[in-house]
Amino acid sequence: MSFKDRLRDEIEFRGLLVKEVSSAVGISNSTFLSYIDARGVLPNVETAVKIANYLGVSVEYLVESNTKDIKKSDEQLSPNARKLITIFKNLSEYDQNVILSLANILENKQSR
């Protein structure tokens, strides 16, 4: 996965708007868009650090093509796991408990 893909995924995962992130890190919206569109421009180190800090991830995570040596955290979850978390966060407490019960059933079934 490339820098632009990871950056785009992080913005989407966190439910942010591009203009929010660009404003927070102090760059123009068009400059920020150049990082995530087909051009795939890489920011300078200072800007990359600001972006990573704002998103709560490491710069290494955003730029590395192989993350096996980076500390485990939610930034390394598979796309399906991240999607599940995003959906889960938007459910009612009751529905979250239903999902957790189902997950426990599936986990127990798998361990047999």
Give every CB contact of residue 48 below 8 A, 6+ residues apart in sequence.
Answer: 42, 59, 62, 63
pLDDT in tens, the chain (112 residues): 788 888 998 998 888 999 999 999 999 999 999 999 888 889 999 999 999 999 988 888 888 765 444 444 555 667 778 788 888 888 899 998 999 999 889 888 877 7
First-to-last alpha carbon distance for the chain, in angstroms, is 35
CB 62 within 8 A of CB 52: yes
Instruction: Indicate the pTM of the whole model.
Output: 0.62
* Distance of alpha carbon 55 from alpha carbon 34, whole angstroms: 18
